[in-house]
Copies of this chain bind each other. A is one copy, B any other.
Amino acid sequence: MTIDEQLAYVKKGLAELIREDELRERLIQSEKTGRPLRVKAGFDPTAPDLHLGHTVLLRKMKHFQDLGHTVIFLIGDMTGIIGDPTGRNTARPPMTRDEINRNAETYKAQVFKILDPQKTEVRFNSEWLGPMRFEEVVRLCSKYTIARILERDEFSKRYKDGIPISVHELLYPLVQAYDSVALECDVEMGGTDQKFNLLVGREIQRDSSQPPQIVATVPLLEGTDGVEKMSKSKGNYIGITEPAKVMFRKVMRISDALMWRYWELLTDKSLPEIAAMRSEEPMQVKMRLAREIVTDFHSAEAAEQAQADFDSEVRGGQEPADIETANLPDAVGNNLPKILVSLDLTDSRTDAERKIKAGAVEINGEKYTKLTIALPKGLTVFRVGKKWKRVQV
């Protein structure tokens, strides 16, 4: 790849790149000297249960690996060892070394589905923070001013609202920045919410006579509903350890618009390749996406099988390609007969009840015989006899 192509490859899907000219310069230098760039991203030491939202970042890290660079998967275990010392955040009790190591293993099992272990350094920041002394902490803290840290949106809002900010919270951006010094990072990546911390890294590196790291942020991935950020608690997620069949089905249920976003953020396809697919039949393209994703986290065979299952169960039931998408009135609640009436799938609630009991109602390709239903977020496909309807929740 030419430098321009390399740049285009790692830029795809980024929310922000600070600064492109510096990255170009470093890619050129790396090519000249044969020294791979060091690309870091930090992760919490808490138990990981990754979904596709997390893989956006991992995939961008992989793209640097694809170009021959080294990725540093940094586990911020020092924070874990300390926990939340104020005791206010009960979700963050101190962790033992054993727990942290176990979580690190779970992480590896998951992230090495995307990252190349040969080009990945897994590091723990307790390596350099553990032996760090008061004197060094003071020196580190002297590099940055309160005003700069309080500029950060999150802090500035809390300060104005009178929500307590403990002094130790100010240390964390500095520590994250110091991690970059300790690791001599060329690039640090993170979510858009990490931008401030990543920029502090540039200043602390400059202060330590290192060239400032390039900062690359990735956007937050929308969940299967296409609206909110993918999150376990919202129920709009696709977990990377979910069975192939479930994963495939969930991808098939996203909207066409969201599909293009997923192509961009969840695959290695270049923008021109993605653009070229826009002329194809969307259902076919979505099926390819589902296969790509299942292949990443399971295998090509599992993807084959998931597609076959999908064909026989969903398309075998003659699910038409042009199902109408409707909105549900709030009033229907969990009452399935009411839902079916409001969707014009049955004539009356009595009719609906009879059909449900007779096994003539399918939801997402499966028979449904109860009278109440908790609709998951995202798209749900209803079928009553030959009538089909899709609902966006």
Flag whether A162 is at the interface (Cβ < 8 A).
yes
- Chain A interface, number of residues (Cβ within 8 angstroms): 37
Q: Which residues of chain A (125-159) have a CB below 8 Å from chain B?
A: 129-147, 149-150, 159
Flag whether A168 is at the interface (Cβ < 8 A).
yes
- Asked if A86 meets B147 with Cβ closer than 8 Å, knowing A132-B133, A171-B167, the reply is no
Q: Which residues of B contact A167 (CB under 8 A)?
A: 141-142, 144-146, 149, 170-171, 174
Flag whether A166 is at the interface (Cβ < 8 A).
yes
Q: Which residues of B contact A227 (CB under 8 A)?
A: none
* Docked complex Cα distance between A142 and B88 (Å): 10
Q: Which of A28-36, A77-85, A209-217, A262-270 contacts B (4 or more CB under 8 A)?
A: A77-85
Q: Which residues of B contact A164 (CB under 8 A)?
A: 145-147
Please pick, from B81, B165, B168, the residue contacting A147 in the complex, using a CB distance under 8 A: B165
Establish whether residues B141 and A166, one from each chain, have CB atoms under 8 Å apart when the complex forms: yes
Establish whether residues B137 and A134, one from each chain, have CB atoms under 8 Å apart when the complex forms: yes
Q: Which residues of B contact A149 (CB under 8 A)?
A: 167
* Docked complex Cα distance between A170 and B147 (Å): 12
* Docked complex Cα distance between A81 and B136 (Å): 11
Chain A 103-144 interface mask (CB, 8 Å, partner B; 1/0) = 000000000000000000000000001111111111111111
Sample (29) of A-B pairs whose CB atoms are under 8 Å apart: A82-B138, A84-B142, A85-B138, A85-B142, A86-B142, A129-B134, A130-B133, A130-B134, A131-B133, A132-B133, A133-B134, A137-B137, A137-B171, A139-B168, A141-B166, A141-B171, A142-B167, A144-B166, A144-B167, A146-B146, A146-B150, A146-B164, A146-B165, A146-B166, A146-B170, A147-B159, A147-B162, A149-B167, A167-B171
* Docked complex Cα distance between A215 and B329 (Å): 66
The copy count of this chain in the complex is 2
Q: Which residues of B contact A150 (CB under 8 A)?
A: 146
- Which of the listed residues A130, A145, A146, A171 has the most CB atoms from chain B within 10 Å of its own CB? A146
Q: Which residues of B contact A84 (CB under 8 A)?
A: 142
- Which of the listed residues A132, A137, A139, A167 has the most CB atoms from chain B within 10 Å of its own CB? A167
Query: Would you give the shortest CB distance from A93 to chain B, in whole angstroms?
Result: 14
* Docked complex Cα distance between A138 and B136 (Å): 13
Query: Would you give the shortest CB distance from A86 to chain B, in whole angstroms?
Result: 5
List the interface of chain A (C-beta within 8 A of B). Answer: 78, 81-82, 84-86, 129-147, 149-150, 159, 162, 164-168, 170-171, 174
Establish whether residues B171 and A82, one from each chain, have CB atoms under 8 Å apart when the complex forms: no
Residue of B nearest to A136 (CB): B134
* Docked complex Cα distance between A171 and B174 (Å): 14
Query: Would you give the shortest CB distance from A127 to chain B, in whole angstroms?
Result: 12
Q: Which residues of B contact A144 (CB under 8 A)?
A: 166-167
Establish whether residues A171 and B81, one from each chain, have CB atoms under 8 Å apart when the complex forms: no
Q: Which residues of B contact A143 (CB under 8 A)?
A: 85-86, 166
Establish whether residues A81 and B166, one from each chain, have CB atoms under 8 Å apart when the complex forms: no
Q: Which residues of B contact A131 (CB under 8 A)?
A: 133
Q: Which residues of B contact A162 (CB under 8 A)?
A: 147
Q: Which residues of B contact A146 (CB under 8 A)?
A: 146, 150, 159, 164-167, 170
* New contact pairs (18) apart from A86-B142, A140-B168, A167-B171, CB-CB < 8 Å: A81-B135, A82-B135, A85-B138, A85-B139, A86-B143, A129-B134, A129-B135, A130-B135, A134-B137, A137-B168, A137-B171, A138-B171, A141-B166, A143-B166, A145-B164, A145-B167, A146-B165, A167-B174
